[in-house]
Amino acid sequence: MLLSMTGYGKASAEYGSKKITAEIKSLNSKALDLQTRISPIYREKEMEIRAMISSTLERGKVDFCLYIERDDASAATPINRPIFKAYVEQVRSLSEELSLPDPDVHWFSTILRMPDVMTKVEVVELTDAEWKVACAVVQQSIDRLMEFRRQEGDALEKKFCEKVDNIEALLAQIEPFEQARVEKIRSRIVDGLNSIPEVQVDRNRLEQEMIYYIEKLDINEEKQRLRNHLNYFRETMRNGHGQGKKLGFIAQEMGREINTTGSKSNIAEMQNIVVRMKDELEQIKEQVLNVM
């Protein structure tokens, strides 16, 4: 089974008034390129989180995010009551001392804007119980991304099988033109020589040269090697994940044999088939970059 490097996973869990959420997505990359955004409370566990991700994902450009959402009540910024009361007492004391009018309701909004009246209380210590929940959320997001990768890998495998079968079918379509091509080459050479009556031709030497020329255009070796590469590509896909680079190398070798076949194909029908084979192979090369 193949695995794609493209994937997405998300998981959440409740812990007290918090909602802990982990999101992870990956794209293709030659190696593991991991970027993380982690809520401050979990920063001390970053190395552990990275180890969890790298041990499972192996390759890909990975973006990971772990954050906290709170309910409306707990998210509200609390008023620091002692400080608020201290400011009120100071204002009243100044009002009496300076014989100023008593503070009215407008002073209320003014005091709320005084330093340290509105205080955001953050939990600074991570408990074992909370980390256990958060760790499970991280693992669940990774598992969901891997499931996504497996589904994408199945789709890629079906696509590759289709393209490999197409190349093999096109290769078979070349064979009927090969014998006709040899006869055309022979006739063209003989006709050309016959059109020059004053030239004396050594028939034995002519046959030797034609055999040499025709052998240079022979594509039997290229066809056999290409069939071997197609079968090796199928076998490698069945060997499981982690074969992306190897499949890429096999696709390159397939391309060499197809190109050589094209350079030796000197009739339009064969060249048209080679172009179609190249098109199928190009689609394989594009998608093989996404394979683990």
| Residue 123, CB-side half-sphere exposure with 13 Å CA sphere | 14
3-state secondary structure of 156: helix
Which strands sit side by side in the sheet containing 32-38, from one edge to the other?
Answer: 7-15, 18-27, 60-70, 32-38
The pLDDT, as a whole number, for residue 104 is 62
The pLDDT, as a whole number, for residue 115 is 74
Query: Does the structure show a pLDDT above 80 at 67?
Result: yes
193 pLDDT band, cuts 50/70/90, is low
Q: Which superfamily, per CATH, for 7-74+126-149?
A: GHMP Kinase, N-terminal domain (3.30.230.70)
How many angstroms separate the CA atoms of 187 and 177, rounded? 15
194 pLDDT band, cuts 50/70/90, is low
Interhelix angle 128-194/268-288, nearest 10 degrees: 170
> Which 8-state DSSP code applies to residue 37?
E
User: What is the domain partition of the chain in residue ranges?
Assistant: 7-74+126-149, 78-112, 151-288
Percent of the chain topping pLDDT 70: 78
Task: Give the position of tokens 């100071």.
Answer: 90
Question: Among the listed ranges 13-27, 107-121, 167-181, 222-236, which one has the minimum average pLDDT value?
Answer: 107-121
* Spatial CB neighbours of 39, under 8 Å, sequence gap ≥ 6: 66, 67, 68
- Measured from the Cβ of residue 138, the count of other Cβ atoms closer than 10 Å reads 23
Do 17 and 147 contact (CB within 8 A), yes or no? no
pLDDT digits (tens, 9 = 90+) for 36-66: 999 989 999 999 999 999 999 888 999 999 9
Nearest to 193, CA basis, from 184, 203, 183: 203
How many angstroms separate the CA atoms of 4 and 25, rounded? 12
Query: Does the structure show a pLDDT above 80 at 269?
Result: yes
Nearest to 207, CA basis, from 223, 233, 230, 189: 189
Mean pLDDT of the region 154-169: 95
Mean pLDDT of the region 102-122: 67
Nearest to 63, CA basis, from 38, 40, 30: 38
Q: Tell me the average pLDDT of the chain.
A: 84
Question: Among the listed ranges 13-27, 177-191, 226-240, 267-281, which one has the minimum average pLDDT value?
Answer: 177-191
pLDDT digits (tens, 9 = 90+) for 71-98: 655 556 677 778 778 887 887 787 777 7
Query: Does the structure show a pLDDT above 60 at 122?
Result: no
Do 170 and 280 contact (CB within 8 A), yes or no? yes
pLDDT digits (tens, 9 = 90+) for 127-141: 999 999 999 999 999
